[in-house]
Each structure stands twice: as C-alpha cells, then as structure tokens.
Amino acid sequence: MTTLLSFNAVTVAYGEAVALSGASLTVDGGEFVTVIGPNGAGKTTLLNAAMGVLPAREGTITFDGQALRHEPPERRVAMGMVIVPERRELFGRLSVEDNLRLGAFTPRARSGNSGGLDRVYDLFPVLAERRRQAAGTLSGGEQQMVALGRALMAQPRILMLDEPSIGLAPRIVQQILAAIATLKASGLTAILVEQNAHLALGIADRAYVLEAGEIVLSGTASALRDDPRVTEVYLGGGNRYAETDPSDD
Amino acid sequence: MFDTALFLLADGLTNGAVYAQVALSLVLVYSVTRVVNIAQGEYVMLGALTYADLLDGRMPATMAIVVTGLALWGVTSAWTARHNRRAMMRVLGGAALACLVLAGISAGVLAAPRSAFLAMPAAILLVASLGPIVYRVTVQPNPNASTVVLVIISVGVDMVLQGVGLLFWGSSTYSVAPLANGGISVGPLFLAWQSIAIIAIAIVIMAALYAFFEFTLYGKALQATAINRLGAQFCGIPVARAGALAFFLGAAFSATSGMLLAPLVTAHYDMGFVIGLKGFVGSAMGGLIDYPLALAGVFAVGVLESTSAYAWSAYREVLVFALLIPILLWRSHRLKPGQEA
C-alpha cells in the first residue's frame, strides 16, 4: 500500500510553547492507525496541524504525495482529509439532516455521494428518527454520531477521529466504536487519536505513543498491547481505562 | 386625528422598509463575518448616486471606485500569491475581467434608451461588486482580528467611501425620478407609488433571502459559517468566499434601498451614514444576529421617526438615536450575566 498521509519531523508551537516536537508518522492507504498518549501530549495538535488549523513551524506534512503548506482547512477537506473534531463543531441551530448535508458541501463529496445520507442513517438509525431536530438539542452521544456522519458525508480519503469517546457513557462509546469498526471493515483509512489506549489498541492496525509532544514508541497495535512500557503506563491493570468514565478531560 | 395617525404610520412604514434593507445587510454581514459594518450606509449613498448617474446618462463614478478597488485587490492578492505564478495570473485575470464586464454593462445601459428597469439592476450590480472588494482588501487579511479591530476597520472604510463620494460627486444634490408618479387613495390615506414600491421590494428581498437561507445548500452554508466558523471549514465550506458573498448581498440590499429612497430625499454624498446608523439602531434590537427582531426594530425606528418629525420635529434624530438606550437595556436584561450581547 502507498503512503497516504505522512508527517516528517513536524514541530508545532503556540508562541514559545512547543506542543509537537519533531513528530514523524505515516498512514498508508487502507490502514487504521492510532495515536495514544496522555492528556496534553499533543494529540489534538497533531490533527490540527494535519488539517491546517495550526501551521507547522518545522517539517513537512504530505498528503497523497503532495506537500501541504498554506492550504486552509476547507481546501484540505476538498482533497479528502476529513476530521471529526473533539468538540464536534456542529451547527446547533440547524437540523440533523442539514448538518449531514453540509458535510457533503465540497464538489468532490457531492459528485460521488448519492445515497450518502442513507448510509449514515443505516449506520446510526437514531439520527434518521431525529433528522428534523436541531443538532444542538441532541444528547452528547447523538451529537458525536452527527459529527461522525457529517465527516462521512465528505467522502473522506482519510478520516481523522479526535477522541470520539470523550465525555460519553460506556454504552454510547460501544455504539460509536461498533460504527467505527464497520467503517474499518469497509476499508476506510483512518487515524484515531485517543486517550483511552485500551479502546484504541483494540481497533487499530498500528499505533504511535505520543508523550509531551514527542513520539516515543510505535509498532503494530498487537505488539504495543503486549509491550511492558505501554501496559504499565496506559493499560495499567489491563482493562482499567475501559471501565472508567473517560470524561476527565 | 385618526387620519394623521394613519398617515404617520404609513410614512413610518416606508422609512422602516428603507432601513429594513440596511438592517438585513448589517445582520447578514455581522453574522457571517463578525464585522459590525459602520460603512453599510455608504452603499446606500453609492446606490442612489450610481442610479442617478445612469438615469442622467453619465458613466457612473462608481466605475472608477470599482476599478481602483479591483486594482488594489489584484495587487495585494497577487503579492500574497507571488510564489504561485498560476494563482497570481488567475487573480489578476479575474480582476481585469470583472472590470471589463462591469464597464461593458454600464456602457450597455447608457447606450440603451433611459429606463429605470435597466439602470436599477446595473447600479445594484456595480455597487454590490464593491462589497466583496472591500471584504477582500480590508477584512480577509485580518482573519483573527477582534470585533473592535473590525469595527475600526469599517469606520476607516466608511471615511474613505464618503470621501470618495465627495470627490466624485461633489457636495451638490441629485434629484432622481420616482419609479412611477402619483399614487392611490385608500380612504383618507394617499399612498405614493414610490412608497408602495419601497415596501413591496423590501418584502420581496426578505422573502428571497429567507428562501435562499432555508432551501439552498449555499444558504445553509452561509448560516453554518455564521454559527460555527471552524465547523464550516471542516465541512469544506470556503469561509472567505462566504464572507465575500455576505458583503456582496449586503451591499446589494443597501444599494437598492438607496435607489428607492433617492426620489423622496434627493441623493447626495453624505446621505448614507445616518441611514446606516438608523439601520443599526433597529438591528441592535436583535443583537445584530436576529433577522425578525431586527425588522421589528427598524419599523419601530421608522414609525418613531415619522411621529417625532410631526410632533417634535427639532428632536427627530435625537429621539431615534435615544431609542438605542432602551433597546440595549432591554437586551442586557434578557441576557444572563456572562452571555455576550
């Protein structure tokens, strides 16, 4: 498989504070990669740099063989890079269906998107019931479904998921996770950024561990699951993260 | 007594319909771009004077403003895109093409027999094209500017546009013929055709704007940009283009109101600012984001203006602007502490 997205020694800083320091990673087409690490490690910064929300101070980000420089987020979406942001960034006043339809705003998404709406409603039947409701009135879990559905409407060539489990009840997390597993099975390329290492390593093919802005470990998900450095810090006692409410942001 | 009240009401509604188009522009521009556009009233002035020029058979001076603005925009964006030769040529070519098209349309209208129905759309197009130019040159280069900075920028734009108005049109007044002379009598009330046209066109514009927002993907995209800018970018909506579109529509509505108003008051270079402010007082009622409340606000302004002009004519403007105080008190009362007005 060819490399779809790559970070080559990328550094991102907010003024003096370096949030990501010389990070390198690759995501191949058809691959499901996860980046795990504690709160404040720079995981969201990594995705924001990929989307062009934050500029890379050093290093290069390449998508599909093309080096990205000053392209604003909307251009990157048009190229097929789509994010499900941590804060969801929905249009609260607009209906669920309008939110989803706006996901397919780009010409690329509109051309190949007949039946895209039905696909999202198949994945999350509850959204079909609430299609006329304002997105802002939905529960947190349902809003996360709208955010994921909206991203799928954009026909992502790579989907970036920023902490999709955050702040949600375990039962809802399982539902979202099942949907993500379905997408993975259909061959979707994705990068999942997660604090919940147990959850992330359970679904990904490959993983990177990010600590204080640096990538300290990488390998296949199964190898990292058995790596003592990971089990000790992130999986301590096996299943701990899966049981706790991951809302402690 | 009743007749007088009825007359004042009709007069107030006509005023209100003029301000309504300015208020719609203000709300549209603010909600999409966060610019409290002090310069909005100047498009009213430009609309009236451009229309007067076309009706009198002169090439409108607005053409010179548009050409200068396009040149400024072309040069600055070509400079930002200087590393990309193709993008640079596209920008310069686009600017040149826009100049030619607008000049061609104006020349065409001047060559044809005088007609308000040709002059009006041409004047709207000419003035409206200034909106995106102003946006691209002054707002877009400052994407992270605070609201206060954007207000100051718009004050600057207002001064420039008013100064340019004085430069090109001088301090004389221009009379503009109404769309139709006369009117109809409804019981004791005489309604001029021009007043009816103003109200009718205001209603058509509002209905069209509503339909655009509710039933088209682009309208939804504009709403989405107003609600959540980052979310809109993540949907692939080009937010800069959305801002330019908001400025275009805002300039178009304001220019239309200037053209309709001109026959009632005569057009001159400093007519716009006060109308812009009155539109602002009205839309303040809706916090600059709520269309229905803004419309209620401008009609209140219009009726207050006509009644105070009749009863206490010396205090007419004072009373209208004093209305801002109860409006702001009412708004701050409605909001919970910590919420933004």
pLDDT in tens, A161-212: 999 998 899 999 999 999 999 999 999 999 999 988 989 999 999 999 999 9
Assigned domain for B260 exists? yes
What does the alpha-carbon distance between residue A220 and residue A201 come to, in Å, rounded to a whole number? 9
- Report the distance separating Cα A156 and Cα B234, nearest Å: 12
CATH of domain A1-80+157-241: 3.40.50.300
Which residue from B minimizes the CA distance to A94? B224
Q: Is A93 on the interface with B (CB under 8 A)?
A: yes
Number of domains forming the structure of chain B = 1
Strands B183-186, A206-211: pairing kind: unpaired
Flag whether pLDDT at A124 surpasses 50.
yes
Whether B24 is in a domain gets the answer yes
Kindly write down the DSSP assignment for every residue of A8-56, as one continuous string: EEEEEEETTEEEEEEEEEEEETT-EEEEE--TTSSHHHHHHHHHTSS--
Rounded Cα distance between B294 and B284, Å, is 7
**For residue B164, what are the domain limits?**
2-55+116-334
Taking CA atoms, what residue in A is nearest to B80? A70
pLDDT on residue A178: 94
pTM: 0.89
* Structure-block tokens of residue B164: 């340019």
* Residue A239 confidence (pLDDT) above 50: no
pLDDT string in tens for chain B (341-residue length) = 788 888 888 889 999 999 999 999 999 999 999 999 999 999 999 999 999 999 999 999 999 999 999 999 988 888 887 777 888 888 889 889 999 999 999 999 999 888 889 999 999 999 999 999 999 999 998 888 899 999 999 999 999 999 999 999 999 999 998 988 888 888 888 888 999 999 999 999 999 999 999 999 999 999 999 999 999 999 999 999 999 999 999 999 999 999 999 998 889 999 999 999 999 999 998 888 888 999 999 999 999 999 888 888 888 888 889 888 888 888 888 765 555 44
3-state secondary structure of B271: coil
Question: Which residues face A162 on adjacent strands?
Answer: A193
Q: Are A102 and B218 in contact (CB under 8 A)?
A: no
CA distance A107 to chain B (A): 9
With respect to residue B220, please indicate whether it lies within any of the assigned structural domains. yes
- B68/B70 Cα distance (integer angstroms): 6
Quote the tokens at residue B336. Answer: 């919970």
Residue A90 sits at the chain B interface (C-beta within 8 Å)? yes
Residues in chain B within 8 Å Cβ distance of A53: 230, 233
Separation in Å, CA A234 to CA A203, A215, B27, B294, B341: 16, 15, 50, 54, 44
Q: In chain A, where are the structural domains located?
A: 1-80+157-241, 88-155
Question: Is B297 among the domain residues?
Answer: yes
Distance, in Å, from the CA atom of B125 to the CA atom of B128, rounded to the nearest integer, reads 5
- Domain membership of residue B109 (yes or no) is no
Q: Domain with B122 in it: what CATH number?
A: 1.10.3470
